[in-house]
Amino acid sequence: MEAAAFYGFSLLAVTAAVFILFSKNLIHAAFALFLAFLGVAALFVLAGADFLGVSQIMIYVGGILVLLIFGIMLTQNINKSDDSSRHNKVEVLVKREVWGFLIGLGFFAVLIKIIFKSDFKMKGDAMISKSTIKTIGVELMTSHLFPFEVAAVLLLVALVGAAYLALNRNPTP
C-alpha cells in the first residue's frame, strides 16, 4: 500500500516535470508545476514529514505558484494575435534543447551511478509514524534559534526589496 502510493506519487511528480520540459505554453507549464508540487508534498508525507508536506502545499501552491502565474500573465507578448494558443509561447532553440538534454541526461547518469555505488549506514532506525510538529517546534526555538531569526530577517528584506523594485517608479510607455 505504501509502496503503491510512493510509486504513484513519484510517477506523478516526474511526469509533471517532463510535461513542463516539453510544453511550449507557459500557463500549461505552471499548472503542471502544481501537480509536481503536489506529488513532492505527498512524498514528504510518505517520508514522515507531515508538517513539511502541509507547508509545502501552503507555501508553494498557495504562494509561489500564484505569484508565478501572475508573473506570466503580466508579461504577455506585445504582439498579440487572436490565436489563443500563441499567447504564452516560448520558442526554444534546437541547439539549446540538445544541450539541455545532454547536460540533464549526463548529470542524471552521474547521479544514478553515485547512488548505485553508495552504501549508506544509517545511524538510527527509520521513524515510526508520529507527528513531527512538536519536535520541529522545540528544535526551532532552542538549537536552531539563530537560523530562525536570520530567516525572519531575510523574509523581511525580501518583502521590502520586492515592494521597492515592483513600484512603478518610471513608467515607460
Partner 1 sequence: MTTIPIQHYLFVAAAIFCIGLAIAITKRHFIGILIGIELMLNAVNINLVAFGRHDPERLTGQLFALFVIVVAAAEVTVALAIILRVYGRFQTVDPDEVSELKK
Contacts with partner 1 in 32-61 (CB under 8 A)?
33, 36-37, 40, 43-44, 46-49, 51-52, 55-56, 59-60
Among 82, 84, 85, 126, which residue sits at the site for partner 1 (rule: CB under 8 A)?
A: 126
Identity of the residue, 75 or 81, whose beta carbon is nearer to partner 1 in the bound complex? 75
Distance CA 108, CA 94 (A): 21
Positive or negative, the Cα torsion across 110, 116, 121, 122?
positive
145 binds partner 1 (CB under 8 A): no
Identity of the residue, 47 or 83, whose beta carbon is nearer to partner 1 in the bound complex? 47
Instruction: Assess contact for 16 and 33: CB atoms under 8 A.
Output: yes
Please state the length of the chain. Answer: 173
62 binds partner 1 (CB under 8 A): no
Q: How far is the CB of 54 from partner 1 (least distance, A)?
A: 12
**What is the footprint of partner 1 within residues 7-36 (CB under 8 A)?**
10, 13-14, 17-18, 20-21, 26, 29-30, 33, 36
Contacts of 91 (CB under 8 A, 6+ apart): 24
6 binds partner 1 (CB under 8 A): yes
Closest CA to 26 of 77, 60, 93: 77
**What is the footprint of partner 1 within residues 66-125 (CB under 8 A)?**
67-68, 70-72, 74-75, 78, 90-93, 96-97, 99-101, 103-105, 107-108, 111-112, 115, 118, 120, 122-125
Distance CA 32, CA 27 (A): 9
Distance CA 73, CA 163 (A): 19
